[in-house]
Structure 1
Amino acid sequence: MSGMYVLIKLAGEREIHIVESLFWRQLPTIPFVLIWLLLKGQWPRLRTKRLGAHARRAMYGMVGMSLNFAAVTLLPLAEATALNFTTVFWAVILSAVILKENVGYWRWGAVLIGFVGVLAIAKPGAGGISLSGASVALAGAFMIALISIQIRNLSISEEPFLIVFYFSVFTAPVFALVLPFVATPHDVGDWCILFGLALLGLFGQLVLTASLRFAPVSTVIIMDYSGLIWATLFGWIVFEQLPTPATWVGAPLIIGAALLVAWREHQKTSA
């Protein structure tokens, strides 16, 4: 996924409109799932009685993905990745407000520490990273948290591949309708970036889904934070950008607080 974000940022630098990146990110999922089901002779697995729920998830997902793509173009990779980790804190807040879950002192404390880390990275009023970029990244993280609640509800009756498939089915045509108004001619380099973006996005989605079959969620969440290592490395090699000193302070606070939330979730479910 970090590799995909590199290509999104490169696409932005080559003035490829974000809608084109979003369209090519979504499109491959549809033929991949259809061919896979055709080869297995399992077309009936596409049936769903919750088309409206899939449409709502797609609407929120379209907004969230657009915000996250925009954040990558507006911020250095490491900072965009670190701020994306605040999804965990938004999820805690939403679980208390929407699901009426009992959130204890540990998780509220973790949320507070996490947002202190956000302030450390953004350094508002002190010449930190772009505040508009930070705001977009935080909004994208909030949308991911909101979407996670929808996916949790959909997962009660729907298979993971079906949720992914209908997300693309609903969103790819919307992006396609906008393409004629924003698309520009591309050279071979542009098409290589878009093709790579589509390929890495699909592959990343598949391995992330598969990871949940072979390891508990708590383990997968911890591994997800390795994305900051890759983002820092790619940012240095490809864009000659290293995290600011403030990011070295704020990112550990965000990751540590997120791990605390994951630990408390594990304690709660295993109790």
Structure 2
Amino acid sequence: MTAHAPDHILPAVALRLLSVVCLATMAALIKLAEIGGAHLSEILFFRQAIGVPLVAAIIAAGPGLATIRTGQLSAHIMRAVVGLTSMTCLFTAVTLLPLAESTTLQFTIPIFATILGALVLKEPTGWHRWLAVITGFVGVIIVARPGTGHFASWGTIAGIMAGFLTAVVSILLRRIGRTESAFTTVFWFASLSMIPLSIVYGFDHQPHPLHIWLLLIGIGVAGNLGQIALTSALKLGPVSIVVPMDYSTLIWATLFGWLLFGALPGVTTWIGAPVIIGSGLYIVWREHLRRRIETDQAIV
């Protein structure tokens, strides 16, 4: 396995931390826009609409617009369908749940990715990782407290579905990424998503005061910058170092929730979140260990 140059690790971590700040900011802006009267369809439309010219400009200034040509249009369409559904579930959870809780449910992505990797990609998954998966779901139960009415049940279901569908997207991206660059994938996702979103927005748009329009634009800018930084980080640093940075999202979600909405995580979230995070970190570490062993065996 080719080692990443030491001077690339710091930029990779910095980019991933930047993506965390951007995506946490996007979540806070989504909640503010929804409270201000914006519909979910409007929020989704602006999240994607800003991405098309932004990513196109970055591609034009870098590798050139010719690189957006693709031979995997059907795969991009599937990624757009699953990705847009996942984004809808995520934004629904953000609007219905406190920021820290909706963020915590997103930490189920490595758990679902392990299950899908074993079932769909037939990846070897030992008892260590299956135990981590079970432990992670125990953490989800602690946070969600099903049957207590602690949180909106649909918000909890939407958050868990968002985690599952994001894991599905990660499986799709592994296949697309064999021939497509990260920027090409982001461009096609934003462009294809605009087809159904434009239709829905045409029926559902409404007038807003200036500050709501600014929030909607901010959602698009923060979300797309976060997505670009998130994918770019993996080009500079290994997954085992980069991905754990995502768990710092909980710090920002807690801070924004307290400053903007006067909400702090409940006791069960403080208990369940470390359980979910611990299981996710263990899964990432076991994956790193497995790949290193496979590489060593291939060299021998």
Normalised TM-score (structure 1): 0.96
Aligned to 2:261: 239
Question: What corresponds to 1:206 in structure 2?
Answer: 228
TM-score by length of 2: 0.87
1:121-136 superposed matches below 5 A = 121-136=143-158
Return the letter of the residue paired with 2:201. Answer: L
Match of 1:5 among 19, 23, 27: 27
Per the TM alignment, residue 125 of structure 1 is displaced from its structure 2 partner at its CA by 2.1
Moved more, 37-46 or 146-155: 37-46
1:3-54 residue CA offsets vs partner (Å, 9 max, x unmatched): 0000011111112111111111111221123333444572321211111111
* Structure 1: tracts of 5 or more residues without a match: none
Task: Name segments (4+ residues, structure 1) moved above 4 Å.
Answer: none
**Percent identity between the aligned chains?**
42
- Relative distance call for 1:84 and 1:36 in structure 2 (3 A) is closer
Note the 1:221-236 alignment, pairs <5 A: 221-236=243-258
Equivalents in 2 of 1:60, 1:39: separation in Å? Answer: 29
After superposition, what is the alpha-carbon deviation per residue over 1:149-206, rounded to whole angstroms, capped at 9, x for unaligned? 0000000011110000000110012101111221111101111101111111121112
2:106 is aligned, of 81, 84, 87, to: 84
Matches within 5 A, 1:63-212: 63-212=85-234
Q: 1:241 to 1:155 in 2, by over 3 A?
A: same
Single out whichever of 34-43 and 196-205 deviates more from structure 2. 34-43
Shift of 1:126: 2.8
Report Cα offsets for 1:67-99 as digits up to 9, x if no partner.
Answer: 001110010000000011101111111111111
* Aligned partner letter, 1:256: G
Aligned equivalents of 2:239, 2:218: Cα separation in 1 = 28
* Residue number in structure 2 paired with 1:51: 73
Structure 1 residue 103, shift from structure 2 partner: 1.1
| Alpha-carbon distance between aligned partners in 2 of 1:261 and 1:65, rounded to the nearest angstrom | 24
Return closer, same or farther for 1:41/1:242 CA change in 2, 3 Å cut-off: closer
Residue of structure 2 equivalent to 1:33: 55
Q: 2:164 is aligned with what amino acid?
A: F
Deviation at 1:218, TM superposition (A): 1.2
Cα 1:98–1:8 shift into 2, 3 Å? same
1:14 is aligned to: 36
By how many angstroms is 1:107 displaced? Answer: 0.6
Is the CA contact (8 Å cut-off) linking 2:254 and 2:265 kept in structure 1?
yes
8 Å CA contact retained: 1:121, 1:128: no
Where structure 2 has 5 or more consecutive residues not aligned to the other structure, the ranges are 1-22, 294-300
Secondary structure, aligned partner of 1:157: coil
Decide whether aligned partners of structure 1 residues 41 and 160 sit closer, same or farther in structure 2, where only a CA change above 3 A counts.
closer
Which amino acid is the alignment partner of residue 201 of structure 1? G
Please list the CA deviations of residues 101-144 of structure 1 after superposition, one character each: whole Å capped at 9, or x if unmatched.
22111110001111101111111123422222111100010000
CA distance in 2 between partners of 1:120 and 1:138 (Å): 13
1:60 Cα shift?
Answer: 0.6
